[in-house]
Amino acid sequence: MKRLLIISLVVLLMAGCSISKEKSAVFPEDEFFLIGHRGASAYVPENTLASFALAEDLGADYIELDIHETKDGKLVVMHDKDVSRTTEGHGNIETFTLDELKSLSIVERKKDKETVLGPSESMAVPTLQEVFDQFGDSLNYVVELKNPSRYPNIEKKLVQQLEENDLIQKDKKGRPRAVIHSFSEKALQRVHKINPDIPLLQLISFDEGEEAELSKKKITKLLSYADGIGVSYEALTPPFVNYMHEKGLAVFAYTVNDPEVALRLQAMGLNGIHTDKPDLVEREK
């Protein structure tokens, strides 16, 4: 009986630990992060080294990038699972080897105008490793697991790559070097199992016109693996943001390109925003 009581106590304590994460433990409370969404994608073709370089120049705290896996198992940076929108090629990424993908020109399609660029070092489909090699610790990273169910083991590969690049740690300002986010709850839970030290953000979409709201059950579940959420900014309200913070969950908003909206969200106490224009608000030098 006594043994059973001790075991129950240990289980309860462990459960308590997993739901008592403090926001401040992961993201410094007084900061408002500007996350360059697919780099500085309002100005330069998204998810290219050139786009990330501009995001860095414009003062982004993090760059956000989307990953997939090639036919020969390499992690590459692209938003869509299909290469057609952003390159001259056609077909799903997993049908291309890395060399084949690298040989594709990037195509910028704006209204009626199509511009073919590269392929060159900065204007091509990058591997995740090339991004880490080029920017090292001059930038921090938010990596999105995109369509993870298409790529068995992509979580394991990503964690391994973050570990190999010493990215599972904080920078000098106490910010996590690398964060993973995804709309896939399962993928994030898999990452959490592989390495519980990686900060995770659950992306959540709400219907147009709907105000953000989460049930107690959902929040308890989130707290068992995630450190925060990423939500479309239109759905956010001050009471919701406060409630998430009280529960120990950080709140990020996507995708904010209007300076007034950015300042309103900052005043609401958000932890940061994803933006295609990392220069949309002035930063203190």
Active site residue 37: yes
Closest approach of ligand G3P to the CB of residue 186, in Å: 17
Helix (H, G, I), strand (E, B) or coil at 157: helix
Residue 230 contact partner, candidates ligand G3P, Ca ion, none, CB within 5 to 8 A by sort of partner: ligand G3P
Size of the site for ligand G3P (CB under 6 A): 10
| Binding flag, residue 46, Ca ion (CB under 5 A) | no
Helix (H, G, I), strand (E, B) or coil at 141: strand
Residue 203 contact partner, candidates Ca ion, ligand G3P, none, CB within 5 to 8 A by sort of partner: ligand G3P
Q: Which is nearer to Ca ion, 144 or 279 (CB)?
A: 144
**Distance of alpha carbon 53 from alpha carbon 39, whole angstroms:** 8
Closest approach of ligand G3P to the CB of residue 165, in Å: 21
Residue 192 contact partner, candidates ligand G3P, Ca ion, none, CB within 5 to 8 A by sort of partner: none
| CB count in 10 Å sphere of residue 37 | 31
| Binding flag, residue 37, ligand G3P (CB under 6 A) | yes
Q: Which is nearer to Ca ion, 62 or 225 (CB)?
A: 62
Active site residue 79: yes
Count Cα atoms within 13 angstroms, Cβ side, for 146: 21
| Binding flag, residue 254, ligand G3P (CB under 6 A) | yes
Phi/psi for 117 (5° steps) reads -130, 140
What residues from 143 to 172 belong to the interface with Ca ion (CB under 5 A)? 144
Q: Are 181 and 144 in contact (CB under 8 A)?
A: yes
| Binding flag, residue 36, ligand G3P (CB under 6 A) | no
| Binding flag, residue 130, ligand G3P (CB under 6 A) | no
157-166 long-range contacts, CB within 8 A, separation 24+: 157/69, 157/73, 157/75, 158/67, 158/75, 158/128, 158/191, 159/191, 159/194, 159/195, 159/198, 161/75, 161/128, 161/129, 161/132, 162/195, 162/198, 163/195, 165/129, 165/132
Which residues are catalytically annotated?
37, 79
By CB under 5 A, name the binding residues for Ca ion. Answer: 66, 144
